[in-house]
Amino acid sequence: MKKILIVLLGPTAVGKTDISIGIAKHFSCDIISADSRQFFREMKIGTARPTNDQMAEVKHHFIGFLSVNDYYSSNQYERDVLSLLPQLYEKNNLALMSGGSAMYIDAVCHGIDDIPDTDPGVRQKFNRKYSEEGIEGLRIMLKIMDPEYYRVVDLKNHKRIIRALEICETTGLPYSAFLKKKKRERDFNIIKIGLERSREELYDRINRRVDEMIRMGLEEEARSLFEFRKLNALNSVGYKEFFDYFEGKISKEKAIELIKRNTRRFAKRQITWWTRDKEINWFQADDSKGIIEFLDTQTIV
């Protein structure tokens, strides 16, 4: 019987957690998390991690299994998920992956370019350069080390520039040499379910969720991680705004306002990414019955 991977995706705060648990319980399967921020054990409140009760209902994988000090990439995630899936398929020919980290989802579904892992120390070097000199210094280095990638990269995105520079320095080859864009064959079928809401409803949910995070102690969680603020894992919405507040750059009220704004912008970028994927079957996020009925017609369990 052909193995199936259901992929549940959608922007932040759309309601993936409840729907994924409903699907997992219906098909008696585990949940593979594809939310890269939830990988880090120290980041609970600010990543809207499923509650202990929710994780007790259904077994979740790849939640809280790393420290913020650990380096982890979409390449490693691809390898780890592909290693886990055969174990899950021994119990059930259907598996469920749920999350909003598009690059990680794409890595599992289609494979990504075979880019080598890098030394975290190399990343720290370029992060320091960014902190001390700004993005222009990084741009100059990239133009020298990899002019081909320099022509196509978003020159406003320092993280992408740093990633390219890491590869250039570690391998001695230009980053563009690794970008083959070859889709890899998988030994399982993939069914993608996308969750959507009206923009007004989604933005309202984001604002209310941030308010709830504040009530739950997001400020205290961010303060406990302040010493790690230079790490890549903490360059994340909900934390970096509070770090600016702790450093006296902005007020607490402004930090909360920016968390809401930046989360809305992040959701918009997620939606834009997925509009290019014609394999996604889109459903309103409150149509759990319709989603289950659709999956029942697409799967044999």
* pLDDT 10s digits, 238-285: 999 999 999 999 999 999 999 999 999 999 999 998 998 999 999 999
Give burial (CB, 10 Å; 0-12/13-18/19+) of 151: exposed
Structural domain boundaries in the chain? 4-113+182-298, 120-178
What would the pLDDT profile of 142-164 be if each residue is shown by its tens digit? 999 999 889 888 888 888 899 89
Q: Are 278 and 268 in contact (CB under 8 A)?
A: no
Q: Is 90 exceeded by the pLDDT of residue 178?
A: no
Range in 152-161, 217-226, 282-291 the model is least confident about: 152-161
Q: What is the pLDDT of residue 281?
A: 98
At residue 181, the pLDDT reads 59
Is the pLDDT at 119 greater than 80? The verdict is: no
Q: Residue 182: what pLDDT?
A: 65
Q: What is the pLDDT of residue 223?
A: 98
pLDDT, tens digit, 9 for 90 and up, residues 50-70: 999 999 999 999 999 999 999
pLDDT at residue number 108: 95
Determine the pLDDT at residue 184.
Answer: 81
* Mean pLDDT, rounded, of the chain: 92
Determine the pLDDT at residue 101.
Answer: 93
Strand-pairing partners, residue 99, are 9
Q: What is the pLDDT of residue 141?
A: 93
Q: Tell me, yes or no, if the two domains 4-113+182-298 and 120-178 fold the same way.
A: no
CB burial readout 60-95, b (16+ within 10 A) else e: bbbbbebebeeebbbbebbebbbeebeebbeeebbb
Q: Mean pLDDT across the stretch 92-120?
A: 86
CATH architecture of 120-178: Orthogonal Bundle (1.10)
Q: What is the pTM of this model?
A: 0.82
pLDDT of residue 124: 85
Question: What topology is assigned to 4-113+182-298 in CATH?
Answer: Rossmann fold (3.40.50)
